[in-house]
Amino acid sequence: MKQINKPFNSINDILNFCSECSEEDFITVDTEFVRTNTFFPKLSLVQIANSKKAILIDFIAIKNLDPLLGLFLNENIVKVFHSGRQDLEIFFNLFNKLPKNIFDTQIASAFLGFEEQISYEKLVLKFCNHKIDKNYQFYDWSIRPLKKPQIKYALSDVIYLRKVYSELTKELDKKNRLNWAKSEFEKLLDPGKYSNNPKSYWQKLKVKNLTNISIQKLKKLTEWREKKCISENQPRNYIMNDKKIINLISFENPTKNIFSKFGVYNLSKKDEEKILYILNLKEKSSTIKNITYKKVDLKKLKQLKYLLKIVSNNSEINESLIATTSDLKSFLTNSSNKKSFFKGWRKVIFGNYANKLLENKLSFEKINDQIQVKVK
């Protein structure tokens, strides 16, 4: 494969490359960005490889990726990423659209018994027998000019990805799991994953025993924080992290001294006044109900975890891909959804057994040194 060591910095370069990709079955894609002191990732490079060449696009120089949109929206060409969620977030922020027909090698590998969130380096070593140089893994990619070792590292992220993709698809095909993997890739193409809704962020915080008024404070304070992060493009931790928000809403009758007490600094007087107004809200009639958590049957949870382990071992599919502990707890407490909680491939290999377990219609039997699941 030809490596183009000079980063593209013109629209024509990108257009010509996209034209060359029109007959490709798949392309590999990666990005390099910086996200140390901003809310949104700052894109520096885009790397793409087709069957003939690997290229770099210098976004800092060109500041325009519109010519890529047609290629990314072409449903006949698979766009291959490794752990592509942040890459997809970048493209969504740029285009307000997401690429179509994607493949994520990190997710795919979990269907074949590889460790959870396996690194690109490990997959390359496994399938390409090549050791990736990690020296530039945390490099500041906004620095210019780029030197040869940095360019080589960036290109390697898409060059070896081609063989990794080919090997994974072969293995998935052999096990009839390619469609299972594709159903997971589709979840990455939900725009809701990349849209920032300040009003709904509070729901991500798992806080127990909140009163109505505490919920109102939590909603308003997280909404204020999210809007400020977005408008000023600053990380949450720079403004006020989640832990500090939870501490603040739990404090009764706060005054401005509360900010130093909980380590909240660098706020303007206007911001302090806004936060104190929120924190001093009094109980009002509200349609918001208290957050309550149903008690989990710990015995059943332990049994479900054991079943999950057996299913994972026998199927060689990573446990966390099948279900998380949070999923299992929801399964136990959401009585109205027990029969359909796990859908698609999850229902086939785990959900049906989980339902039988709750009905006490499941047993385990050791056959040829392997634990098998039996329906009574």
Helix (H) or strand (E) holding 361: none
> Please, what CATH class does the domain formed by 2-193 belong to?
alpha beta
DSSP H or E segment with residue 11: helix 11-20
For residue 314, which of 137, 175, 214, 150 has the smallest C-alpha distance?
175
Which two tokens mark 223?
A: 């909404």
Residues 56-82: pLDDT tens digits? 999 999 999 999 999 999 999 999 999
What value does the CA radius of gyration of the chain take, rounded to a whole number of Å?
Answer: 25
Identify whether the C-beta of residue 267 lies closer than 8 Å to the C-beta of residue 275. Answer: yes
Q: Backbone phi, then psi, for 47, in 5-degree steps?
A: -115, 135
Specify whether the CB–CB gap between 357 and 307 falls below 8 A.
yes
pLDDT in tens, 8-50: 999 999 999 999 999 999 999 999 999 999 999 999 999 999 9
Number of neighbouring beta carbons within 10 Å of residue 116: 11
* Nearest Cα residue to 184 out of 12, 317, 303: 317
pLDDT the model gives residue 272: 93
Give residues with Cβ within 8 angstroms of 99, minimum separation 6.
Answer: 29, 72, 73, 79, 88, 91, 189
Separation between Cα atoms, residue 150 and residue 156, nearest integer Å: 10
- If DSSP codes are grouped into helix, strand and coil, which group holds residue 164? helix
Q: What ranges do the domains of the chain cover?
A: 2-193, 201-279, 298-375
CB atoms within 10 A of CB 95: 15
Confirm whether 2-193 and 298-375 share one CATH topology: no
Select the CATH number that applies to the domain covering 201-279 from these four: 1.10.10, 3.40.1000, 3.90.550, 1.10.150: 1.10.150
Residue 221 CB neighbours (<10 A): 22
Helices (H), 197-268: 212-232, 236-239, 242-249, 258-261
Residue 367, φ and ψ in degrees, nearest 5: -130, 120
Each of the 376 residues of the chain gets a pLDDT tens digit; together they read: 899 999 999 999 999 999 999 999 999 999 999 999 999 999 999 999 999 999 999 999 999 999 999 999 999 999 999 999 999 999 999 999 999 999 999 999 999 999 989 999 999 999 999 999 888 988 999 999 999 999 999 999 999 999 999 999 999 999 999 999 999 999 999 999 998 999 999 998 988 878 889 999 999 999 999 999 999 999 999 999 999 999 999 888 888 889 988 888 889 999 999 999 999 988 654 444 555 557 888 999 999 999 999 999 999 999 999 999 988 988 888 755 555 567 899 999 999 999 999 899 998 888 888 888 988 8
What distance in Å separates the CA atoms of residue 316 and residue 53, rounded to the nearest whole number?
35
pLDDT at 252: 82
Is 298-375 a CATH 1.20.1450 domain? no
Cβ neighbours for 361, distance < 8 A, ≥ 6 positions apart: 375, 376
Burial of 2 (0-12, 13-18, 19+ CB in 10 A): exposed
Packing angle, helices 269-279 and 242-249, rounded to 10: 50
